[in-house]
Amino acid sequence: MKSKIAFLLPFLFFIGILAVQSQVADPHGSDESAITGIISSETQNDTMLDINAFAKDYAQAWCSQNPKLVSLFYSEDASLNINNGTPAVGRAAITQSAKAFMDAFPDDMVVAFDKLVKTPKGIEFHWTLTGTNTGHNGTGNKVNISGFELWQLDENGLIKESKGTFDAEEYSRQIKYGVEE
């Protein structure tokens, strides 16, 4: 039974995305309740399978070009810190952080879920971002960069703290010169 549920979770997530994107004014609920309901149902049991499904859906949200979907994986007062910069605190700020990356790669950004690693400090979500920098003032160069986020989850299975790390120097080099294919 659990394997059938795990198989259906990505499908249910995309149904939720479609419902959110097609929703004009739904008197029966909000986009937030639609997505967080799916997330909560995935993470009720603290098993690696559930966390893997959550991570896959999180990566798909980054690929959606809808930054609000990314923020819905976070608790209301969560924080996202990228490369020890100023933390984005709260869903609105996290939405803006996600939007900055999506704006830089509006046409073909893909964030691939590579793996999860449980550590004493939290769960590491390893990812690879690929895309072409065609946003405003973009260089038109291709980028392929990997990194990870160290997550702390709350009691509802949402991210309460994420500390993202990637090689900023290499990222800047690829923005300027591209990546070998």
Sheet-wide strand order for 88-89? 88-89, 74-82, 159-166, 142-153, 122-132, 110-119
Number of structural domains in the chain = 1
> What pLDDT score was predicted for residue 181?
65
Give Cα 72 distance to the centre of its chain: 9
Distance CA 118, CA 122 (A): 6
Task: Tell me which DSSP letter residue 72 carries.
Answer: T
Exposure string of 60-93, with b = 16+ CB inside 10 Å and e = fewer, is bbbbbebbbbbbbbbbeebbbbbeeeebbebbeb
Which residues does residue 117 pair with via DSSP β-bridges, in sequence order?
A: 124
> What pLDDT score was predicted for residue 21?
39
**CATH number for the domain that contains residue 81:** 3.10.450.50
> What pLDDT score was predicted for residue 26?
36
- Nearest CA to 157 out of 2, 33, 41 is that of 41
> What pLDDT score was predicted for residue 39?
43
> What pLDDT score was predicted for residue 13?
42
> What pLDDT score was predicted for residue 49?
62
pTM: predicted TM-score of the whole model, two decimal places? 0.76
First to last CA, the chain: 42
> What pLDDT score was predicted for residue 4?
40
Question: Which residues of the chain have a pLDDT value below 50?
Answer: 1-46
Crossing angle (nearest 10°) for helices 48-63 and 31-43: 150
Q: Are 47 and 62 in contact (CB under 8 A)?
A: no
Residue 29's domain comprises: 2-177
Residue with tokens 């976070």: 74
Q: Are 80 and 164 in contact (CB under 8 A)?
A: yes
> What pLDDT score was predicted for residue 55?
98
